[in-house]
Structure 1
Amino acid sequence: MHAITTATADLRAVREQWGDLLAAIERPPAAEWPPRETRSFLDRSAAGDRHADDDLDTARVGRIPLTVREHPAPLNLDALDAALAVERDLFDLADQLAEQIQRPVRYWIGLRGNLTRDEADAVNPARWHLPTHSASVTGRAARPGSRAYGLHWAAVWIEGRVCGEDLDGDLFTSLPPRLLDHAATTAARARRTVERALERDGRTVRLDDPCPWCGGQMVGRTRPGGEPAVTCSTGAGCGAPALLERGRRTWQGAELVGLFGALDAARHRKE
């Protein structure tokens, strides 16, 4: 179904860009192209595995819910607001799905009529645990439930329910169409929010620097998913070592590393 395909793609896009959004919270906004957070993957492409440990640290941090972190002085409030909104939406969605398609924990009736909780069922790693909001209602301290594992786990768990995984047992039932549509809508909104905050929502910018090979106008575009591209307006007559796309020399993805190097060299020649 279309809703399953799009929801899966949107949830994965959110997960893949979540580390960049968290990093953006700690950096002041900057008017530059491509956006600083979009350029991060270019730096990794140029440096190879040099940032592997940094990426691992970011992944670890990315699992800590924003709602339990301290943000005494975030440098980018727009990025923080976007991250909090996405986290809240996906956590709430996971709660809603668990309430409606996840079987409650089993209880056994003993010989004396007493109820015994099935602890193995309760700690099933596939289970989503709802948060405890109020001690006055539950009789115990509030707990975050599965939210404690962060947005990554929430997105993975929701994707599993959308795709109908683990239906061979009795822990989950399949998503009814109404819930599937709701999940797809929420995932799409989350992706738009992340990419808008990172300026990866399909923007077009005329670059100040001319093409280093022919002097033509350079145009930069950010694309949903984070991969930027630059085109030269001269067309096939431009001698740049780049592929022709729709009649124009085009650099995208890791190819931009070479382009930015050529632009820097051209600036130094003018100085």
Structure 2
Amino acid sequence: MTTTATTAHHLRHIALHWTDLHQALGDRPIHGAFGRGLRDYLRTLEQYDREEVAALRALERDPAQIGERPVPISLRVYETMRTVESALIELADQTAADVQRPAMARAPRHWPAPDRARRDALADTDATDPRRWRYTGRRTAPHAALWLCALVEGRPGPWRPLTDAHRARIGRVAAGALHRIETTLDTSAATATLTQRCTKCCGVIEIHGGAGTPPLARCTGCGHTWHTPEPAVA
């Protein structure tokens, strides 16, 4: 089972990486890095590259785009941000519906004025507590991630403690979201096995890379290695 510390780590890093995603949103894809180039080899993600190129070509052909045009965005990064944000906000909505305590009611009119004033002040403070998850207004991936992190870590707030089922669900979503973000940004190391065999000994070939480094293939049998060719200098 995912531990509290691991889930909190995932949620914090989702919030930290959100700025990186915004910066990468306007960048063109960098092919050849492990997180993107290797995915192209192993998961045939050139389909996404074709879709991105087609979308950019459509902008070029659109008469409405003559003159000043918006900077093309990376559809891959946009899809990651859209998917992760939707998942985290939905998770926060569901969790809040289960564990968040309703705001305190204001005092009945028949209460004595001093008591009613004190009760109404407490009710107003409770209703505007910034720790509350809200269904309107500030609904972003970083805010959802940090709000869920507060619940996972057991911080005080207008909510009941999470159940094991809540913790497991938050852990699964957080791990999946962070993995998708790190894969898109190419910030995590990974290893994959190719179906192609070594031509020298028919051994299994593994590819290692990540965090922006070019892929390195190595035969687990004879130890032969293959490197990504260096780009030609113009």
TM-score by length of 2: 0.60
Give the C-alpha shift of residue 23 in structure 1: 1.4
Percent identity at matched positions?
25
CA gap of 1:108–1:204, structure 2 versus 1, over 3 A, is closer
Give the C-alpha shift of residue 186 in structure 1: 0.7
Give the C-alpha shift of residue 35 in structure 1: 7.0
SS at 1:104's partner residue? coil
Q: Is the 8 A contact 2:2 2:171 kept in 1?
A: no
Q: Is the 8 A contact 1:82 1:194 kept in 2?
A: yes
CA gap of 1:2–1:185, structure 2 versus 1, over 3 A, is closer
CA gap of 1:35–1:191, structure 2 versus 1, over 3 A, is closer
Letter in 2 for 1:130: Y
Q: Is the 8 A contact 1:74 1:80 kept in 2?
A: no
Name the counterpart of 2:135: 130
Name the counterpart of 1:22: 22
Name the counterpart of 2:154: 164
Name the counterpart of 1:120: 125
SS at 1:87's partner residue? helix
Q: Is the 8 A contact 2:100 2:159 kept in 1?
A: yes
Instruction: Give me the whole-angstrom Cα distance separating, in 2, the residues matched to 1:2 and 1:203.
Output: 20
Instruction: Give me the whole-angstrom Cα distance separating, in 1, the residues matched to 2:212 and 2:146.
Output: 23
Name the counterpart of 1:13: 13
**Would you say how many aligned residue pairs link Structure 1 and Structure 2?**
169
Name the counterpart of 1:96: 94
Instruction: Give me the whole-angstrom Cα distance separating, in 2, the residues matched to 1:32 and 1:230.
Output: 7
Give the C-alpha shift of residue 129 in structure 1: 1.2
Which aligned pairs between 1:167-182 and structure 2 lie closer than 5 A?
171-182=158-169
Name the counterpart of 2:209: 221
Instruction: Give me the whole-angstrom Cα distance separating, in 2, the residues matched to 1:126 and 1:5.
Output: 21
> Structure 2 residue aligned with 1:84, among 82, 85, 97?
82
5+ unaligned residues in a row in structure 2: which ranges? 37-69, 193-206, 219-229
Instruction: Give me the whole-angstrom Cα distance separating, in 2, the residues matched to 1:89 and 1:228.
Output: 30
Instruction: Give me the whole-angstrom Cα distance separating, in 1, the residues matched to 2:129 and 2:120.
Output: 17
Q: Is the 8 A contact 2:34 2:212 kept in 1?
A: no
Q: Is the 8 A contact 1:220 1:228 kept in 2?
A: no
The higher-RCO structure (CA 8 Å, 6+ apart) is 2
CA gap of 1:33–1:2, structure 2 versus 1, over 3 A, is closer
Q: Is the 8 A contact 1:195 1:201 kept in 2?
A: yes
Which aligned pairs between 1:1-271 and structure 2 lie closer than 5 A?
2-33=2-33, 74-112=72-110, 118-131=123-136, 144=137, 146-147=138-139, 150-166=140-156, 171-203=158-190, 221-222=209-210, 226=211
SS at 2:106's partner residue? strand
Instruction: Give me the whole-angstrom Cα distance separating, in 2, the residues matched to 1:82 and 1:32.
Output: 19
Deviations 1:143-169 (A, max 9, x none): x3x31xx322221111010111116xx
Give the C-alpha shift of residue 230 in structure 1: 9.0
5+ unaligned residues in a row in structure 1: which ranges? 37-71, 132-143, 206-218, 234-262
Name the counterpart of 1:44: none
* Superposition CA RMSD, Å: 3.5
